Amino acid sequence: MQQFIQGLVQALEPQAIVYLLVGTFSGLLIGTLPGLTATMAIAILTPLTFWLSPNQGLAMLVGVWNSAIFSGGISAILINTPGTPASIASTFDGYSLTKKGLSGLALGINVVFSAFGGIMGVLALILIGFPLARFALSFGPAEYFSLAIFGLSTMVAVSGKSIFKGILAGFLGFSISLVGLDPIFGSERFTFGRMELLNGISFIPMMIGLFGIGEVFYQVYMSKKTYENDQNATKQLGRVIPTLKEMKSVTPVALLSSIIGIIIGAIPGAGADIAGLVAWDQSKKIAKKPEEYGNGSLEGLTASTTANNACLGGALTTMMALGIPGDAVTAVLIGAFIMYGVQPGPVMFRDRADFVYMVVILMILANIAFLAVGFFASKALTKFLSLPQSFVWTTIIILSLIGTYAINNSSFDLILVFIAGIIGFVFRLIDVPLGPIVLALILGPMAEANMRRALILSGGNAFIFLRRPISLTLLVLSVISLLGSVARKKKV
C-alpha cells in the first residue's frame, strides 16, 4: 500500500501533470500528421527528457504515446490517410463516414473508444502484470534464454512481405548488439580500438536514426507529400459527441476489440496496427450487418480505434513484467527506463513497485487527458493537415540531433545517429523491415548472456534448456510461433 501511495504521489506531482499535458498535446499533433509515428516521437523525445526527473519524463512520454495512437485516427477519418500505422484499419470505415457527411460522429467515436480501449489495456496491466512478474521471478538463465528466443521467434511476424529480409535485418541487429565488452569475460569485441564502443552501440541514437532521421531522409527522397488535403477535411464536421444509443450499440464490439487488442499487444513483436486489423476482421465475422463494414460502419470504426489503444496496455505488460518489448514503442521505452535507472523485468515489480504504480497511473491520466480535450482537438487539428512538410522535416532533424547529443554529450553519438539514419533510409528503399532490428538489439544480448550462463552452470550440457519445464515450454512456443508465422506468410 505504501508503494502505491508513493507511485500515486509521484504521478500526481503538479510538474508531472504539466509534462503529461505537454506530451498529450504534442502527441495529438504528431499523430495527426501522416508520416510521423509514435515510435519516431518517443525515440526523439526520450533523450530530451534526460534533464527531467523520472516521473516528469515518463509523464511526457506516456502522454505522447497514448495521444499519438488516438490522433492517428483523425487523419485516417478525414483524409483517408492514417496518421500512424496503428490507424490503418480506421480508414476502412472512417473515411466512408466522412464521405457520408458524418465525419464529426466518426471523430467522436474515435475519441470515446480510443480512451475506452486505453483504459481497458491499463486494467489488464494491473491485473496481469504483478502475477506475471512474480511467476517470472522463478526464472533462471535457461528460462531467460528461452524467453529471449520466444521474443526473437516473432521476427518473422514483423518481417513484412519477405521473411528473408526480416531475418537479414534481425542478424544485423544482433551483430550490432555484439559490439562492446563480452558479458562473461569482459574482453573487447568489435571495438576497433575506439573507447566510445567499449559500452556497446548506444541504443537511443540507433532508434533515433532508424525511426527519425531515416524517415526524414526517405520522405525527402520521395520528394512528394505523404498526404493530400481533402475538401472533406475542411467541411463542417457536424455533431462530434455520440449519443448514448450510439455508444450502447457499439459497446459489445468495443469489449471484444479490447480483449483482442490486449492479447495482441502482449505478443512480442506485434503492434497496434495488427491489433486494429485483427479486431476489425473478427468483429465483422460476428456482426449482424457485415456488409456495412468498409462502407461506413460505426461498429467497424469502433473495433479498430478500441483495439489499437488497448494494445498499449498489453505491450506494456510484456515489456515491464518480462523485459521483452511488445512493440517498437515499448522497445524504445526500455531505453527510457534504463536511462532513468530502472531495468524493466520481474525484479522491477518486486523492488520498484512504486515505479510500476506510477506508470500505471500515468497511463490512466493520459487517456483521461486526451478524452477531455479530444473532441475540441479533433476539430482544431484539421488545420494542421496542411502543415508544410519542410517545416516538419527540419523540426525532426533538429530535435533528433539535440536529443542524441544530450544523452552522453558525445559527438560520436551524432555519427551513430546519422549512420543509423542512412541504414533506415536504405532499408525503406529496399523494403527491409526495421522491426527485427529492434527485437535483435533488445533481445540479442539477453539471449547470449543467459545462454552462456546456463551452459556454465550445467557444465556445458545443452540439455539444460530441455530439462527445465518452463524453458522447454517457451522453446516449444517459439517453434510454434515461428512455423505459424511462416505458414501465414506463405498463404498471403
DSSP per-residue codes, 198-212: TT-S-HHHHHHIIII
Q: How many domains does the chain have?
A: 1
Contact 156, 163 (CB under 8 A): yes
> What are the helix (H) ranges across 203-352?
203-208, 214-222, 244-266, 272-286, 298-322, 328-339, 346-351
Domain containing residue 67: 2-491
Q: Identity (one letter) of the amino acid at 429? A: L
Nearest to 269 by CA among 153, 393, 429, 368: 153
CA distance 272 to 314: 10
CA distance 207 to 444: 16
Q: Which residue has the cell 512493440?
A: 327
CA distance 403 to 206: 12
Q: Identity (one letter) of the amino acid at 68? A: A
Q: Identity (one letter) of the amino acid at 119? A: I
Label residue 324 left, alpha or beta by phi (over 0 means left) and psi (-120 to 50 means alpha).
beta
Give me the tens of pLDDT residue by residue for the chain, a chain 492 residues long. 788 888 888 888 899 999 999 999 888 888 877 666 777 788 778 877 878 888 898 999 999 988 888 888 887 888 776 777 777 788 888 888 888 888 888 888 888 999 999 999 999 888 888 888 888 777 788 888 888 887 777 666 556 667 788 888 888 888 888 888 888 887 888 888 788 788 888 777 887 788 778 878 887 887 654 444 444 444 556 667 788 888 888 889 999 999 988 987 887 666 677 788 778 888 887 888 887 888 888 888 899 899 989 998 888 888 888 887 777 788 788 888 888 888 888 888 888 888 989 999 999 999 998 888 877 777 776 666 666 777 767 877 887 787 677 667 778 888 888 998 899 899 888 888 777 887 788 778 888 888 999 999 888 888 889 888 888 988 898 888 777 767 766 665
